[in-house]
Amino acid sequence: MIVEIVNTGTELMLGRVLNTHQQWLCARLADLGCVVSRQVAVADTAREIERAVRESLSRADVVIATGGLGPTSDDLTRAVLAEALGRELVEDAAVRAHIEEFFARRNRPPPPGTLVQARVPEGALVLPNPNGTAPGLIIEIAPNPMRVGGARGWLVMLPGPPRELQPMFDDSVAPWLLRTLPLRSGFVCRTFRLHGIGESSVQDRIAGPLEAMVAAGLDVGYCARPGRVDVRFRAEGESAGRLVDDAARVLDQHVGAFVFGTGEEELETVLVRRLTAAGCTVAIAESCTGGIIAHRLTNVPGASAVLLAGWVTYSNHAKQALLGVGADTLGRHGAVSDPVAREMAEGARRATRADYAMAVTGIAGPGGGTADKPVGTVFIAVAGPDETHVWKMFNPWDRATFKEVTANQAMDGLRRMLCGLPLEPRDVRQLVTPKPL
Amino acid sequence: MIVEIVNTGTELMLGRVLNTHQQWLCARLADLGCVVSRQVAVADTAREIERAVRESLSRADVVIATGGLGPTSDDLTRAVLAEALGRELVEDAAVRAHIEEFFARRNRPPPPGTLVQARVPEGALVLPNPNGTAPGLIIEIAPNPMRVGGARGWLVMLPGPPRELQPMFDDSVAPWLLRTLPLRSGFVCRTFRLHGIGESSVQDRIAGPLEAMVAAGLDVGYCARPGRVDVRFRAEGESAGRLVDDAARVLDQHVGAFVFGTGEEELETVLVRRLTAAGCTVAIAESCTGGIIAHRLTNVPGASAVLLAGWVTYSNHAKQALLGVGADTLGRHGAVSDPVAREMAEGARRATRADYAMAVTGIAGPGGGTADKPVGTVFIAVAGPDETHVWKMFNPWDRATFKEVTANQAMDGLRRMLCGLPLEPRDVRQLVTPKPL
């Protein structure tokens, strides 16, 4: 099954936007057992779109084209490809109704020109777009004259905005692929997410125990990011399920404490779930992380059941006035210190009467470092009913990565406290953030 | 000048890594006046690499291939393309010395196989790699038999890791391009960022006044996102600068109040700059935005000079206890209301003695909505020395987009207050978030 991707958009060719579709679609398709053989990006001119799609259709069973389905004069994909495939555009009543309702809800008449998105190539499968106006489209091309041998092909057209494309792919395209195409049978893929241990260390611990399974057909993949690593087990055929189950057991046995979730779960999702299950609440006192921990927690539906409040005490005065950190503590140890982190966490817990609190104080850079406390130095505190645990990390990354890495460390610390796991991994070497990639 | 990009790497086709080269290289080349006409990503097999590069060389003057220059068995680019172009690989003494020194500095002998990176295609221009071991390579192909007409072409090979490729492009490839190739003279490109007005409305107001300039060679592009639109003016040749200046004046004349920045500036960057210039401070009281406003502001270097503190008062109790919102106000109007937004902003300002404060209270969804206050309802307050302004928006998006859109609205509100602009655009219709794209 040959799949190619064509991403259209002049903004891509000018480098104005980052093409996230390529990674996202390739990962989704790989998880379905289908490796994309080529991805192409072209400007949104009629000539480039048609040429790229024709070339891909000369090689592939399925071509996924993204972008250009909107209502403006730049949006050519639908009309150009319908014409190239010899299909008339006809109005789809359901799509038209959806577009009209979309604007009605916003108390606006549909802007002129927007209803062109209700015109779909004759015979196309229309994919609903609850997050926007332009529907997705799937056209079957049987026979496919662009391909030697004329084998049947499909052209899938998806809207450009990721928040429209991604749910549409998951809800409509993936099920369509599974029922329409001969994807590999018995294909099993499971991903485990680990924090606080490096890729090489994981490999050291599990490669030996997994050797026999790998010989029996198990595929093991590692995807490392700063401070984290995903371990992916894939297998196909009759014994696929059993192989992956056995591999999961090996992983749990050797590095189980580091596994925080599966699939694409984030630490914040896991935390909200565990706190909710325990009927517990949390407060967050941030400084150098600037609000990212609260922001990530509140991305999780149901966070309001567990998060009482967060602070971003960016100045020393705010730490004192809002969290009760002692002027004396600040004076003696400085803002970036164990005692200040401890007082921030305990102050947050007191002020809200939350069961747990996380606090972070550190130096995000690029400025602010000293010989004693270089950029990347951070103290993290987790305060609970029984104890407050504080530990120091060194996260020498650019500011954005520093924030994410530090937020992960704080959240994983709370996860470990909730699970009764040691907060500092036994191998202290793992505390130091692994080499950047 | 036709330029194409070929990104090689099986990890790209599996979706394990994000392809940042495409955006980065396209943006750099666009700024040099050269728009990339096609980008392709393929797996790192000899067959795919050769086929993709041959196809690109059949169309382009310059082909930039990334990846596959390392020392492992996966790294095929150098050998495959040297053979395809009929060049012997010969050892370059300077590269060899660099590689040996690279490992000597780390107290390691060069790992077996790594010196293969010192073998370069005969006649290639060797580009130094201070951040890694594999050099970049530029091969001139004159005549180019793969291209109809045989016009001269160039193949540029760059290492995969961004921290090696980017400095190498800036230090070696860009200068080489400028001295070797007939890039457009007088290419001008300027982008303006607008908030609070939709793409169609901008087009309605400026298309007419710009008509003559477009006829004279001005290119106008729109890139819309929820609640925002970028307007891009491009022109080349002698009158390029004047055309773009005139277009900028038209934009300012008709929609100037909506323009918050240029290039790739974000609202938070502009705010930190304006607050710093005015010697003013700010505090942020968030609820449904969950910390994203503070997070974004603290992404800007220098934010510590202006941001005193932020709150995420996720519960009603936190709004009272931490910001001084009245129990009575909450009881009578509910958390999502004008008076509560006002009291949050004024409470934040009082608690920190900041000059300005932003506050947001609303319903991010997916749950929590009522007939009266559906999901997406939000009240935003900006409190300053002279007045507190509160306004209501309706942002019915998925939670992540809701947060970004609402954060933009709050920050743009403060921008307008700082600039003495009306906080509510004259056309009330623009208050409703424009159509998603």
ipTM of the complex: 0.83
Q: Rounded CA gap, A376 and A411, in Å? A: 18
B126: phi > 0 → left, psi -120 to 50 → alpha, else beta; which?
beta
Residue A425 has pLDDT above 70, yes or no: no
pTM value?
Answer: 0.83
Mean pLDDT of A414-434: 66
- Provide the CATH number for the domain formed by A3-180 in this structure: 3.40.980.10
CA distance A75 to chain B (A): 11
B187-262 under CATH 3.30.70.2860, yes or no: yes
Tell me the two tokens of residue A255.
């590095």
Q: Which residues of A16-39 are buried (b: 16+ CB within 10 A; e: fewer)?
A: bbbbebbbbbbbbbbbbbbbbbbb
Inter-chain contact A19–B23, Cβ cutoff 8 Å?
yes
Backbone angles phi, psi at A393, to 5 degrees: -130, 160
Inter-chain contact A314–B309, Cβ cutoff 8 Å?
yes
| A58 and chain B in contact, CB less than 8 A | no
CA distance B93 to chain A (A): 28
Inter-chain contact A352–B321, Cβ cutoff 8 Å?
yes
Residue pair A338/A392 in contact by the 8 Å Cβ criterion: yes
Residue pair A357/A346 in contact by the 8 Å Cβ criterion: yes
Interface residue of A1, A5, A8, A16 to substitute, partner B, most B CBs within 10 Å: A16
Report how far apart, in Å, the C-alpha atoms of B277 and of each of B272, B303, B408 are: 8, 12, 21
For the stretch A213-246, pLDDT in tens is: 999 999 898 887 788 899 989 898 889 999 999 9
CA distance A24 to chain B (A): 6
- Provide the CATH number for the domain formed by B267-419 in this structure: 3.90.950.20
Residue pair B390/B341 in contact by the 8 Å Cβ criterion: yes
- Residue B15 has its nearest CB partner, among A27, A43, A367, at A27
Report how far apart, in Å, the C-alpha atoms of B112 and of each of A435, B73, B108 are: 22, 12, 11
Q: Give all strands (DSSP E) within B339-436, no chain letters.
A: 356-362, 377-383, 388-394
Q: Which residue of A has its CA nearest to B26?
A: A15
Residue pair A287/A362 in contact by the 8 Å Cβ criterion: yes
- Residue B27 has its nearest CB partner, among A14, A297, A303, at A14
Tell me the two tokens of residue A197.
């241990």
Q: Rounded CA gap, B372 and B376, in Å? A: 11
Inter-chain contact A42–B37, Cβ cutoff 8 Å?
yes
| B4 and chain A in contact, CB less than 8 A | no
Residue pair B141/B63 in contact by the 8 Å Cβ criterion: no
Provide, as residue numbers in chain B, all residues whose Cβ is less than 8 Å from the Cβ of A344: none
Residue pair B29/B3 in contact by the 8 Å Cβ criterion: yes
Q: If residue A254 lies in a helix (H) or strand (E), which one and from where to where?
A: helix A240-255
| A293 and chain B in contact, CB less than 8 A | yes
For chain A, give every residue range classified as CATH 3.90.950.20.
267-419
Amino acid code (one letter) for A289: T
- Residue B308 has its nearest CB partner, among A37, A42, A318, at A318
Q: Which residue of B has its CA nearest to A354?
A: B318
Average pLDDT over chain A reads 91
For the stretch A71-90, pLDDT in tens is: 877 788 999 999 999 999 99
pLDDT at B425: 52
Provide, as residue numbers in chain B, all residues whose Cβ is less than 8 Å from the Cβ of A163: 397-398, 400-401, 436
| B274 and chain A in contact, CB less than 8 A | no
Mean pLDDT of A397-421: 94
CA distance B41 to chain A (A): 5
| A126 and chain B in contact, CB less than 8 A | no
For chain B, give every residue range classified as CATH 3.40.980.10.
3-180
Interface residue of A3, A6, A14, A222 to substitute, partner B, most B CBs within 10 Å: A14
Find, among B286, B384, B396, B295, the residue nearest to B335 by Cα.
B286
How many CB atoms lie under 10 A from the CB of residue B279?
9
Q: Which residue of B has its CA nearest to A29?
A: B14
| B436 and chain A in contact, CB less than 8 A | yes
**Tens place of pLDDT per residue across chain B (437 aa):** 899 999 999 889 989 889 999 999 998 898 788 899 999 999 989 999 999 999 999 999 999 999 999 887 778 899 999 999 999 999 999 999 999 998 888 777 787 788 999 999 999 999 999 988 999 999 999 999 999 998 999 999 999 988 899 999 999 999 999 888 877 667 788 999 999 998 888 999 999 999 999 999 999 988 888 889 999 898 988 899 999 999 999 999 999 999 999 988 999 999 999 999 999 999 999 999 999 999 999 999 999 999 999 999 999 999 999 999 999 999 999 999 999 999 999 999 999 999 999 999 999 988 889 999 999 999 999 999 999 999 999 998 889 999 999 999 999 999 999 999 988 654 433 334 433 43
CA distance B105 to chain A (A): 17
Question: What does the DSSP 8-state code read for residue B307?
Answer: E
Report how far apart, in Å, the C-alpha atoms of B174 and of each of B91, B120, B171, B181 are: 25, 21, 7, 10
Q: Which residues, including other chains, have CB under 8 Å from residue B372's CB and lie 6 or more apart?
A: none
Backbone angles phi, psi at B397, to 5 degrees: -125, 175
**At CA B85, angle to CA B83 and CA B88, rounded to 5?**
50
Could you tell me how many residues make up chain A? Answer: 437
Inter-chain contact A310–B298, Cβ cutoff 8 Å?
no
pLDDT at A424: 67
Inter-chain contact A295–B366, Cβ cutoff 8 Å?
no
How many CB atoms lie under 10 A from the CB of residue B368?
16
CA distance A107 to chain B (A): 8
Provide, as residue numbers in chain B, all residues whose Cβ is less than 8 Å from the Cβ of A112: 200
Amino acid code (one letter) for A276: T
Find, among A225, A371, A363, A228, the residue nearest to A287 by Cα.
A363
Provide, as residue numbers in chain A, all residues whose Cβ is less than 8 Å from the Cβ of B269: none
For chain A, give every residue range classified as CATH 3.30.70.2860.
187-262
Termini Cα distance of chain A: 32
Q: Rounded CA gap, B125 and B140, in Å? A: 9
